[in-house]
Amino acid sequence: MRRLLALRREQKLTTGHVRVAADALGVRERAVWRWLAAAEEDSAAAAAPGERARYHGRFTVTAEVRALLGLWKGNVAAVHRELTARAARGECDPPPSVPTLHRAIRRDLTPGERAGLAGGEREARKHDVFLSRPRGWRNQVWEADHVQAPVLVDVEGATRRPWVTWFVDCASNTVMGVAVTPGHPSRESVLAALRAAVVREEPFGPQGGLPEKVRVDRGKDFLSRTVTAAFNALDVTVEDLPAYTPHLKGTVEGLNRAVESMFLAALPGYARQPRPGRRRARPKDEVLLDFEDFTTRLLDWVAWWNTSHHPAPLKGLSPLQAWEADPTPLREIGADELWTFTLEDDGRVRVLSTKGVRFRNRDYVAAWMTGLAGERVRVRFMPHHDRRIEVFDATTERYLGPAELADTATPEQISAVRTARAARTRHLRQDLAAAQRERYAAATRPGKPQRLATATEAEAGMELAAAERSDLSRLALPDLIPPAAPPAGWRTPASLAARTRRAPAETTTADDPPRSGTADTHHPDTTAAPGPDDAGTGASGGGGSR
């Protein structure tokens, strides 16, 4: 339209020019002539040819409307009701109709903005465009992540959802190492998966070696002191990505999605809901997998992914074939050296005694300790694995050998202890829930909540008195009430006589034997100083005992 206006100003505009423009825009010639007339009157009309004059004052989405869309999760009808209520209070202008509001939102907001206001940043990210990184070479960059499997698994009689920790090579999509944890993962899970990823021996190989960089997403386990020390010792750079940016480690995120749709969804106990707000019905007679069976199947799937799966970006090769076809040299490390690098050290120097090594109030022994009592050693250990430790010389850092926990309880004893702990925890939870449970009457009209199960004044007083007595019994000390005075014929040391209760005054005769160190205790009204004979017996401690 601006080109046609320029031709008109130069008096070079012809009907042929208008006919070509109309054919290109799919409109009639007189529509183009009308647009030219409107553009001559208003230069803004040249940017949007064909826009009718009555649309110049149309409703547009304001910051207030955007805020209400976010508040009501994209519900336009609720936004319209809120704007109508505010207009009735005189806080804003009356809103347009609901269809007009719908049209304005579709026109003024992008699909990503509408999805973000309705479902948050994750939904908005589905409408973004992302760049793809170059694949690089093998072991250049690994990505690591924890993922909780949406599958219910039987773990020693309890139903749990296991966690999977794995490292994946970004150049070939090869799963380098994997570790499965029945409960929440920890730094021990990261170290176990790292050893499986680096070692090229069976059953982990043939992929392996040390990477140049590992990407993580601010997970506290990946950034713990032990894991960081292991990466530093292995000369591996850790790239800490910003939070809530899964697109920055798309290789491992794609693996997380693939394992669910290709493997986990077909397992018994799959617990993912089909859509929000609706629970997936599970068969009543469904038999869950135990942890060992689940781990076996998952490792078999990982082997299939590496050897038999052919992703499209690899051009007909499996991930392991693409990894082995890369001629990049590998940085390898032995299993023994790797074991020492992936252990935690508390930094203390200990002395070998005749009972072994004392670590965390436990004794650890081994056959190689014979004849080494008195040596200064340091202890390294795998987090949460308290059955075995690794012992090193404190001076030369030479590895001495492993040590096993002495006096280990039998499996039956451990099971009984766990059962007792679980029962105690269950009863305590029930008692706390019963004590904190409040019942209120159902309300049909506005008013204050009314509690049920009202107690009488006498019942409330009895319960408070019982609580006070129980608290005093906890705070009572064993020597709160001093013991009674010893018999008259006992010779009590002065240090013990001072801690007894004073007996009432008694009438003594000349035939009564003297008592050393108890004159002040049994005769509160007597203030005479002890004689030389009494001083000797009272200070020596006497021969009697209480």
Long-range CB contacts for residues 483-490, cutoff 8 Å, separation at least 24: 483/546, 485/518, 485/521, 485/522, 486/518, 486/544, 486/546, 488/512, 488/515, 488/522, 489/513, 489/515, 490/515, 490/544, 490/546
Percent helix, strand and coil across the chain, each to the nearest 5 = 40, 15, 45
Strands (E), 361-434: 362-365, 376-381, 388-393, 399-405
268, HSE (Cβ side, Cα atoms, 13 Å):
14
H or E element, residue 420: helix 411-436
Which of 196-200, 360-364, 370-374, 378-382 comes out lowest in average pLDDT?
378-382
Convert the pLDDT of each residue in 423-452 to its tens digit.
888 888 887 777 666 666 666 667 667 666
Supply the pLDDT for residue 76: 93
Which fold does the domain 141-274+284-325 belong to in CATH?
Answer: Nucleotidyltransferase; domain 5 (3.30.420)
Query: Do 515 and 526 contact (CB within 8 A), yes or no?
Result: no
Supply the pLDDT for residue 490: 84
Supply the pLDDT for residue 51: 62
**Of 209 and 279, which is predicted with more confidence?**
209
Supply the pLDDT for residue 438: 62
First-last CA distance in the chain = 116
Q: Which of 107, 105, 86, 106 is nearest to 95 (CA)?
A: 86
Query: Do 249 and 219 contact (CB within 8 A), yes or no?
Result: no
Supply the pLDDT for residue 508: 46
Convert the pLDDT of each residue in 453-484 to its tens digit.
666 778 777 877 776 666 555 555 655 667 77
Cα–Cα distance for residue pair 45/51, rounded to 1 Å = 7
pLDDT mean over 254-259: 92
**Of 24 and 431, which is predicted with more confidence?**
24
Q: Which of 404, 408, 405, 403 is nearest to 392 (CA)?
A: 403
pLDDT mean over 393-419: 80
Query: Do 139 and 212 contact (CB within 8 A), yes or no?
Result: yes
Supply the pLDDT for residue 117: 92
pLDDT surpasses 60 at 510: no
Which of 65-74, 328-337, 455-464, 516-525 comes out lowest in average pLDDT?
516-525
Cα–Cα distance for residue pair 83/91, rounded to 1 Å = 9
- Cα 77 → chain centroid: 38
**Structure tokens given for 16:** 């042929």
Prior bond to 203 cis, omega within 30? yes
- Determine the 3-state secondary structure of 388 from DSSP: strand
Domain ranges of the chain: 2-55, 63-125, 141-274+284-325, 346-405, 489-498+514-540
Residue listed under structure tokens 């859509």:
275
Which of 304-318, 412-426, 434-448 comes out lowest in average pLDDT?
434-448
DSSP 470-496: HHHHHH--TTSSPPPPPPTT----HHH
Phi, psi of 376 (to 5 degrees): -90, 125
- Its pTM stands at 0.60
Identify the CATH number of the domain defined by range 346-405: 2.30.30
pLDDT surpasses 50 at 40: yes
Which of 55-59, 224-228, 401-405, 411-415 ranks highest by mean pLDDT? Answer: 401-405
Cα–Cα distance for residue pair 392/380, rounded to 1 Å = 8
DSSP 34-60: HHHHHHHH-GGGGTSTT--GGGTT---
Supply the pLDDT for residue 278: 54
Supply the pLDDT for residue 80: 94
**Structure tokens given for 278:** 């609706």
Per DSSP, 376 falls in state E
Average pLDDT, the chain: 80
53, HSE (Cβ side, Cα atoms, 13 Å):
7
pLDDT-derived band at 293 (thresholds 50, 70, 90) equals very high
Residue listed under structure tokens 């190492």:
177
Which of 151-155, 187-191, 418-422, 452-456 ranks highest by mean pLDDT? Answer: 151-155
**Of 411 and 526, which is predicted with more confidence?**
411
Supply the pLDDT for residue 472: 54
